[in-house]
Amino acid sequence: MKIFYDKTHCLHNPAFEVFDGGQRVPYLESPERMDRILKAIRKMDDAEILAPRDFGLDPIRAVHSEQYLTFLASAWTEWLAATPETAAASDKTALMPATFAAKRDQMPETILGKAGFFLLDLSVPIVEGTYSAALASANCALSAAETISSSIAPPSSFALCRPPGHHAGREIAGGYCFLNNAAIAAQWLTRFGQVTILDVDYHAGNGTQDIFYSRSDVLTISIHADPAFEYPYYAGYAQETGAGEGLGFHRNFPLPAGTDDTAYLTTINQAIALISDYAPSSLVISLGMDTYGGDPLGRFKLTREGIGEIGHRISALGLPTAIIMEGGYNTDELGENVAAFLEHFR
């Protein structure tokens, strides 16, 4: 299996995030996550770890708006220029707004106003290396997509993406995500035919839903904790099934807290049936490991054996598959859980 990784992800390393209730905590989406995954997958006999190639901005522009990309590219330097005293006070200072857009009719001129316009929550602080890390992450996803498009046998590849992507919408960041890596990969693959994105992260893929909601050439499926009680709260409900040409081509499977292997695998079977009926040319998986029991940001109870079985059932579809890393914050178990999933795509 070809695995794409870029150490540039380390440049995105905020000192903290702000949890519900205003609690400041160490940033959970840390570079250590990638270290743990790399350690585990290097034990796989046929793992080939490669640097991604640079695809330029055009594949990213096909998913994200120009004004959003301009903001990500310039936010740090613009913030430094606006607040030199604050920024100079600490090398760990991050751009993080206190006011967020309740409506998005007008973009403000100030950098803090722009930040509140483009950032959904307090889990996406911007530091000096955020944009570079996000671009490298997107290139990992695109390299994985390119790999599965150019093989005769149904291949699979893994993009070790950080920052993750599935909460990033067309022009908004949130939930640790700045560029939607899975959506960028899927959009690139549409040149070869229909694509399915299957999101198995604990949290609803609201950004992916936003990007493809009115399209029929990409079937999007998300299995996640019910947003009635879990982030992102305002998207991911079962009645959200697409709009216009995309009506019927988006499916959410919200599940209750405490969901175990048996219940989750029943839902996976439903998703697999939808994918089979759609008959895509390729499959993109948004792979989250925060479904694992004991994850600090999850309330499911999946085991490592259950995660392996999920991989086994999806792989049985026999589709060219690009696996894109999303969440998972139990760093002690993260690497072995990812390896358990990947073993079935070798």
Q: Which residues belong to the active site? A: 167
Rounded Cα–Cα distance for residues 231 and 241 (Å): 19
What is the three-class DSSP state of 173? strand
Q: Name which of 325, 237, 229, 256 is nearest 20 in CA terms.
A: 229
Rounded Cα–Cα distance for residues 272 and 258 (Å): 22
Look-up of token digits 């709009």: 243
Q: Is residue 328 within 8 Å of residue 334, measured between CB atoms?
A: yes
Amino acid at residue number 110? T
DSSP class of residue 121 equals S
What is the three-class DSSP state of 309? helix
294: left (phi over 0), alpha (psi -120 to 50) or beta: left
> No. of H helices and E strands in the chain?
11, 10
The CA–CA distances, whole Å, from 39 to 32, 34, 266, 331 equal: 11, 9, 31, 12
Rounded Cα–Cα distance for residues 14 and 21 (Å): 19
In sequence order, which residues have a C-beta less than 8 Å from that of residue 116 and are 6 or more positions away? 97, 98, 99, 100, 101, 108
56: left (phi over 0), alpha (psi -120 to 50) or beta: left
